[in-house]
Amino acid sequence: MVDNTIKYQDFPGEKIKLKRIFTNQKLLEKAVDGFSTPQKIKEAQGDFYLFPLPEKRPQLWASYVSSLDGKIAFPDRQDGTLIARANWLNSTGALADYWLLNVYRTYADAVFLGGSTLAAEPDLTGAVYDRDLVQIRTSKLKKKTEQPVNIIITRSGENLPAEHQIYHHLAFPTWIYTFTDSLTKLEAALDFSFKKINLKDILQGRMEIKELFSRDKLFVIHSSAQKSGECHLNFLAALKKIGINRVLIEPSRYVWQLMQAGLLDELFLNFSGIFVGGDISLGRGNPFGLSEVPLGKIVTVALKEDNFFYTRQKLYYQNQRKKNDEI
């Protein structure tokens, strides 16, 4: 039986407090005016700024913790949280890293999750586990849902762990997004019922939007687009149409695909003071060429003691060079 309660955690202020050492004031001239940072967030990490939303799709964020040599998981244990928790010189750095992930989920309307991540972390959801942040979502940010929508991304429909709790959790809306030609494989992989929705029905206004945000059904949204890029662009457009304005992307492979398409807007990249080696990094085996490389401008940098630091980066792409003289 699935435990449908959120296992909220304590995040004591003194253990999550960071020292802000850099703020890019020039870049923040482009931030949205008139928004004040909720007190708990401001006391822990300083002001949290928001940049204007894209017109035709949600704003896309990603958050990772990396070793100092750029690795996001151990080869023998690919639970990404271990990169933070293995830092025994900094007993609270991992907690602060995890709390910041909860902050980003607080601002997000939806969280994207991947099948391989679910397989590696049996208890994983995209929920907010700080009660104070949940209250901020509802009272301050006026979100549609108490918890962000959990959206599981799968191309093949075959890599999803059938026994995972997330499909039946009633604390948040859960959707799976896939290709139409993968539905048969998905139905074989998951031995329980779900409601299928063609992406065209959302784009063309034939879907009751309120139903999508219900928490007692699992929805599988599928696209019949033949090209992967078109499929994902249509899905992002559909999310924007139904009021999902900010999305936190957690699957690393999908993050890299978005960067290749010039769509990822911001990267929250934290560094744990450890060295891992191996080859598990963002973009593993799929490098950018010199003429394609994205750029990141630092928005803020913060420290936790002397071997854990936290960055926020705004991303720029080669197709923006002529539009932005600052690049």
- pLDDT tens for residues 201-241? 999 988 888 888 988 889 999 988 766 677 789 999 999 99
Has residue 147 been placed in a domain? yes
What CATH number corresponds to the domain at position 30? Answer: 3.40.430.10
Among 26, 48, 167, 155, CA closest to 99: 48
Has residue 196 been placed in a domain? yes
Has residue 9 been placed in a domain? no
Write the CA distances from 295 to 197, 232, 290, 313, 319, integer angstroms.
Answer: 37, 22, 11, 9, 11
pLDDT in tens, 123-179: 889 999 999 999 999 999 999 999 999 999 988 877 788 888 898 888 999 999 988
Residues forming beta bridges with residue 223, ordered by sequence position: 179
Q: How far apart are CA 52 and CA 105, in angstroms?
A: 18
pLDDT in tens, 200-209: 999 998 888 8
CA triple 242-218-244, angle to 5 deg:
20
pLDDT in tens, 66-121: 999 999 999 998 888 899 999 999 989 999 999 999 999 999 999 999 988 888 78
Has residue 8 been placed in a domain? no
Domain count, the chain: 1
pLDDT in tens, 28-59: 998 987 678 999 999 999 999 999 999 999 99
Residue 96 in contact with residue 15, Cβ under 8 Å? yes
Which residues form the domain of 238? Answer: 26-320
Has residue 258 been placed in a domain? yes
Has residue 287 been placed in a domain? yes
Q: How far apart are CA 290 and CA 229, in angstroms?
A: 22
Has residue 226 been placed in a domain? yes
Structure tokens of 300? 């803020």
In the structure, what pLDDT confidence band is assigned to residue 325 with cuts at 50, 70 and 90? very low
Has residue 296 been placed in a domain? yes
